A and B are shown apart, each in its own frame.
Chain A
Amino acid sequence: MAYTREKPSPIESRDQLRARIPGWGVDLDPQDRPSVPKLRSEPDGNGAHWDFPERQLEHRPRERSVEHAFLTPVFGTTCPARGVSGLMRKAAYRRYSEGRAAHWLLLLAADRVDAWESHVRSFLTLRPDNPITETGVLSEFSHHGIASRIGKRRADVGHQLLDPLIVAGPWVVACGVAYSAIRSIAGRRR
């Protein structure tokens, strides 16, 4: 009881727990738990046979956090920054530390720009973006889309209504803008 000094008595005894739950208490001693204590390394090493690793070659300029003294010896090479989003990303890394909200907000904004640049670019390829197949939304029909949600008291159903809006919304707006632009150009010609 919270209002007196005694600890509430346990619901089940040790023996009951042992009988019900396989392995109950095998790691009771904190020394049996991995990564105890903190800040201690494996006594027999971890496979590193260098003090400072050899450095990966930087084939093209690689953006890095201003909080780093230099480019880390190993880094990922996927998706180099390009286009307008690339300029935004480079600016975010060059100008702001990770402590600044501007750093992250600029990167998030660049992500949205990147998505749009990539959509547009995809129409110049043999495989343009397909909002139906790429959202996997067809699985709604094959994997119990309605039955999984109705009458299940799920907290996320309301939020999920927003998702198609977020995905389709910009397309609808873009199509609307394109349509009205074409109409106004056509109107001027007349």
Chain B
Amino acid sequence: MRAMVYRGPYKIRVEEKDVPRIEHPNDAIVRVTLAAICGSDLHLYHGMMPDTRVGTTFGHEFIGVVEEVGPSVRNLERGDRVMVPFNIFCGSCWFCARGLYSNCHNVNPNATAVGAIYGYSHTCGGYDGGQSEFVRVPFADVGPSRIPDWMDDEDAVLLTDALATGYFGAQLGDIVEGDVVVVFGAGPVGLYAAKSAWLMGAGRVIVIDHLEYRLEKARTFAHAETYNFTEYDDIVVHMKRITDHLGADVAIDAAGAEADGNFLQHVTSAKLKLQGGSPVALNWAIDSVRKGGTVSVMGAYGPMFSAVKFGDALNKGLTLRMNQCPVKRQWPRLFEHVRNGYLKPSDIVTHRVPLEHIGEAYHIFSAKLDGCIKPLVVPSAG
């Protein structure tokens, strides 16, 4: 089969690989029909995530058709059209039993602090991902869902992470009616978080970024008020000015480990790997939220320490909430919202590329060329 393969930082290519096999009785093999490149894939691509091995296939956002099932699989059959949440989880451990699917204890031998994710380094379990013609899906009775007949492929693939995570980010903000919500980062997750904040009754939604084309999307797609931080000497002061000197009620960090805006922080984290991630966006969130407010963290960060302004968070009495999204728990409600037209996930898709051109797609996405917000990858199989 053809698959995207990591060759070292900033280098990937498409190679011929063995089709994955059933390795556990509850595995399924899925033929991928559509995949996406995620902003967090860029952390891997840039060599920021520990134990990202040469030869790995990335891709934790994908949908496909069941090709083969293991002997203990009951809920899926060959030929089923399925969407697969980015988390791999067993459904029965202490954490899964409490709905913490992103924190499953039974699927990632390499770490206890992180769950398992498709195509996301050995730190996340050492599984291959879906930017490929076929992928192994463990716990096929637990993770995947059949795609509803009425749902488009492009909407379905965005529900496997980006939309679910954005909604989850807004949800962690514990928004009450009339809240001022500020979102740092207008990538896919930030756009969806901003849009979701309205569903939860926000009174005002503000989005901060430095890329004009993404801010434009935040205005049209997410109906948000937007600011380009490069136009302000100090974006935190500006946030205070426009919120009656109180600050926002809820701040959402949807930028994560490679946040720009501070050269030193960016270089020590993204370039020199001395931090688990550039805390620029997170620190802006801590500084911009009002005392007693809530900071929700949706951006991806590596396992190492980052220079986070913990003292400010303490002194301001903030609630910090964060997790990777337990995608499958979000689906029933999000399906309703998509069906009702409140959320149209595929509106943010800008690029559709064949698997063979995935190297260019990564560069375009990483360098933010060509107005790129969300690239989809179409494998040629089938």
Binding site for B on A (CB under 8 A): 1-3, 7-8, 10-12, 14, 17, 20-28, 30, 32-36, 38-42, 46-54, 56-57, 62-65, 67-68, 71-79, 81, 85, 89, 93, 98, 101, 104-105, 107-108, 110-112, 114-119, 122, 127, 129-131, 133-140, 142-145, 148, 152-156, 158-160, 162-163, 166-167
Contacts and interface: CB of A to CB of B under 8 A. Distances in A.
Contact of B10 (A20, A49, A116, A167): A167
A27 B200 contact: yes
B100 interface: yes
B109 A71 contact: yes
A118 B8 contact: yes
B364 A136 contact: yes
Given A1-B244, A48-B142, A56-B24, A75 B123 contact: no
A6 B11 CA distance: 55
Contacts of B91: 46-48
B364 A143 contact: yes
Contacts of A110: 51
A184 B305 CA distance: 45
A23 B177 CA distance: 14
A93 B54 contact: no
Interface in B332-382: 332-334, 337, 340-343, 359-364, 367-371
A34 B337 contact: no
Contacts, number: 312
Interface in B89-129: 90-92, 96-101, 105-113, 116, 122-123, 125-128
B92 A34 contact: no
Nearest to B23: A56
A52 B92 contact: yes
B75 A75 contact: no
B109 A65 contact: yes
A112 B54 CA distance: 10
A47 B271 contact: no
Contact of A49 (B24, B141, B168, B228): B141
A74 B91 CA distance: 12
Given A25-B199, A35-B329, A74 B369 contact: no
A144 B350 CA distance: 14
A40 B98 contact: yes
Contact of B99 (A38, A50, A74): A38
A2 B244 contact: yes
Contacts of B260: 155-156, 159
Contacts of B99: 35, 38-42
Interface string B282-296: 000000000000000
B150 interface: no
B122 A153 contact: no
Given A115-B8, A139-B360, 6 more contacts: A39-B98, A53-B139, A68-B112, A74-B107, A76-B126, A136-B362
Given A51-B92, A129-B7, A34 B330 contact: yes
Interface string B1-12: 000000111111
Contacts of A22: 341-342
A8 B246 contact: yes
B347 to A, nearest CB: 12
